[in-house]
Amino acid sequence: MHSQGDDSSLSGDSRILLGKLWRQVSPVLRGNRRRVGLALLCLLAAKAGLLVIPFLLKALVDGLDNPPELVGFHWLLILVLAYGGARFANTLFAELRDTLFGRVTERAMRIINLRVFQHVHSLDLEYHLNRQTGGLARDIERGINGISFLMRFFIFNIAPTLLEITVVACILFINYGVTYSAVVIISVLIYGVFSFRATQWRTRFVREMNSADSNSNTRAVDSLLNYETVKYFNNEKFEASRFDESLATWEKARRNNRLSLFALNGGQAAIIALSQTLMLAMATTGVRSGTMSLGDFVLINQFMLQLFIPLSFLGFVYREIKASLANIERLFGILDTPASIEEKPEDPCLSIHNGTIAFEQVCFSYRESQPVLRDLSFTVTGGQTVALVGASGAGKSTIVKLLFRFYDPEAGVIRIDGQAINAITPSSLRQSIAIVPQDCVLFNDSLRENIRYGRPTASDDEVEQAVNAAHLEQFVRQLPEGLDTTVGERGLKLSGGERQRVAIARAVLKDAPILIFDEATSSLDSQSEQAVLAAFRELAGRHTALVIAHRLSTIVDADNIVVIDAGQVVESGTHEQLLALQGHYAGLWQAQLRETI
């Protein structure tokens, strides 16, 4: 991505972006050949109607300028009707063109929007930890709108306007000589060179404005997403001050953009006014000298009006194209971001037999020189419940991320039933694992649909069975709308224990052979914890279960307890065996006992 002031390479960047855009939209255009062809025919018909109008006006004015006995009223009436027909045809075929091609544009926008959405979801966790949601959404929105603009105006405005300029210059040359056509061509060239150079100059202001817009939107969205935190710390004024700072930057960028636009529009208007004045002066001289008729004067004036209206619009189109390219630059920057873990069609799907999980000498670090896991090895036998315990920062949650393959280990291998998880499709791996996370974030939808998210194809009866399995039925009965109750953004209308039981209901509904319970009771009160644990034990009895434990009292009946310290396994065994060792686990157990006294 180039800096905002880097305009020297913009033309090269523009060609690259247009090449990428063509690769994205060309399949859509090929798939709608007939519709595109009809739209082009309508375009030609609309331009033909427009080019006929000056000749009809010339004939009508000359007819009115002649004595009535030389030009009959019926002939004048035919010319008036023909003029009206040409005007109507121009508008009708232009509307038909837009209607026909609009469907192609909308299909392309839908396909590219979906492609970006899917690609963002395919990117690794590191990308999503660093992204700014508000700015990302605004970049995607502007980029898609920019693509829509380019598709419509590049095809139906630039090429037709250039064609119209050529035809008008030829008509003037044939009928009135080289001087008139030369004025048109020179005016167009001066206008084009000025517009292109001025637009090149002001593109940096467009980029600055877009960047400021994204930053202010990001600030607003981030603050609203953390509404409760803002309230807890009484920081409304602080948030408003920070938002106002970003808005001040946005205001300045908008002002610079508007001033640069004024300079561009003023220069274009001056060129148009001078060329039209010169052409009308020449035509006036021709009429006074008798070499031209009043009809010729009207024809030349009409051609100049018709020519500079689309030419003026061409300047707008070029400005918008440059702005659109600045917008889609960010969009394609998102699409060009590589996914470190990709779904490869040639990879096999995971085949689960008994659900045995094995970590074999796994090493991993988020940053160099700060290893999180060091030669980590342990096994979860199929059907067992194994707990991972250790101090904060020991690497327990990292193990979950590696098992879901949000990251790949730097060394070692993770296997499920003997199959290395980096050699199977990520989708089949994640389909085989259900998780009850520490922080269950819900969608702003009904309770029913949030539970159904565990398996979107589940029936209402299956959802209700999952509710019962998660011991949520009593809570649901207390709600006025039952399962149709909306849970609010991120599920904030529910308590922590209720959200955890929704997470368990999701896991029940998913019915995956491997279950992960990630410190899901660490922030709950004792009553909620017991309800969640009861639901979990019923669920874990039918699966291979890996429990990330914070409260050791919740995992005393686990089949095996693995103690992690500084990214390594230091102890493993049952609760009684580990207490007898008087090692790390016993120390953690005694520390938690003292906390409860």
pLDDT digits (tens, 9 = 90+) for 416-453: 999 999 999 988 998 999 888 877 778 888 889 988 98
Residues 273-287: what's their mean pLDDT?
Answer: 87
Query: What token pair was written down for 171?
Result: 């008509």
pTM of the predicted model as reported, rounded to 2 decimal places: 0.65
- The answer to whether 520 and 349 have CB atoms below 8 angstroms apart is no
Residues 358-380: what's their mean pLDDT?
Answer: 89
Residues 499-513: what's their mean pLDDT?
Answer: 86
Would the pLDDT of 15 be above 90?
no
Torsional class of 249: left (φ above 0), alpha (ψ -120 to 50), beta (otherwise): alpha
Question: Which contacts (CB < 8 Å, 24+ apart) does range 263-267 have?
Answer: 263/198, 263/202, 264/195, 264/198, 264/199, 264/202, 264/315, 264/319, 267/194, 267/198
* Homologous superfamily (CATH) for 11-336: ABC transporter type 1, transmembrane domain (1.20.1560.10)
Q: Of the ranges 1-10, 86-95, 151-160, which is most confident? A: 86-95
- In terms of Cα–Cα distance, which of 330, 479, 342 is closest to 424? 342
In what order do the strands lie in the sheet containing 514-518?
433-436, 514-518, 544-548, 385-389, 560-565, 568-573
- In terms of Cα–Cα distance, which of 380, 386, 384, 385 is closest to 417? 380
Q: What is the reported pLDDT for 5?
A: 37
Q: What is the reported pLDDT for 354?
A: 87
pLDDT for 325-341, tens place per residue?
A: 877 888 888 888 887 77
Band the pLDDT of 10: cuts 50, 70, 90: very low
Q: Of the ranges 63-67, 377-381, 518-522, which is most confident? A: 377-381
> What is the DSSP annotation of 338-390?
PPSS---TTSPPP--SS--EEEEEEEEEEETTEEEEEEEEEEE-TT-EEEEE-
Q: Check residues 152 and 274 and name the one with the higher pLDDT.
A: 274
Q: What sign has the CA pseudo-torsion 556, 559, 561, 567?
A: negative
Coil vs helix vs strand at 434: strand
- The answer to whether 204 and 5 have CB atoms below 8 angstroms apart is yes
pLDDT for 68-95, tens place per residue?
A: 666 667 788 888 899 899 989 988 998 8
| Gap between the Cα atoms of 395 and 389, Å rounded | 10
Query: What token pair was written down for 72?
Result: 């009959």
Would the pLDDT of 489 be above 80?
no
Tell me the β-bridge partners of 544.
514
Residues 529-548: what's their mean pLDDT?
Answer: 74
Q: What is the reported pLDDT for 6?
A: 39
Q: Check residues 577 and 4 and name the one with the higher pLDDT.
A: 577
Would the pLDDT of 102 be above 50?
yes
Band the pLDDT of 321: cuts 50, 70, 90: confident
pLDDT for 34-71, tens place per residue?
A: 888 898 899 889 888 888 888 888 888 877 877 666 66
Q: What is the reported pLDDT for 13?
A: 63
The percentage of the chain sitting over the pLDDT mark of 70, rounded to a whole number, equals 89
Report the chain's mean pLDDT, rounded to a whole number.
82
Q: What is the reported pLDDT for 312?
A: 65
Q: What is the reported pLDDT for 203?
A: 73
Q: What is the reported pLDDT for 573?
A: 92
Would the pLDDT of 264 be above 50?
yes
Q: What is the reported pLDDT for 223?
A: 84
| Amino acid at the residue 462 | E
| Gap between the Cα atoms of 374 and 65, Å rounded | 98
| Gap between the Cα atoms of 317 and 166, Å rounded | 19
- The answer to whether 183 and 282 have CB atoms below 8 angstroms apart is yes
Query: Is beta strand 357-367 parallel, antiparallel or unpaired with respect to 370-380?
Result: antiparallel
Tell me the angle at which helices 159-176 and 178-225 cross, rounded to the nearest 10 degrees. Answer: 160
Q: What is the reported pLDDT for 99?
A: 86
Residues present in the chain in total = 597
Residues 370-396: what's their mean pLDDT?
Answer: 88
Would the pLDDT of 3 be above 50?
no
The DSSP code for 561 is: E
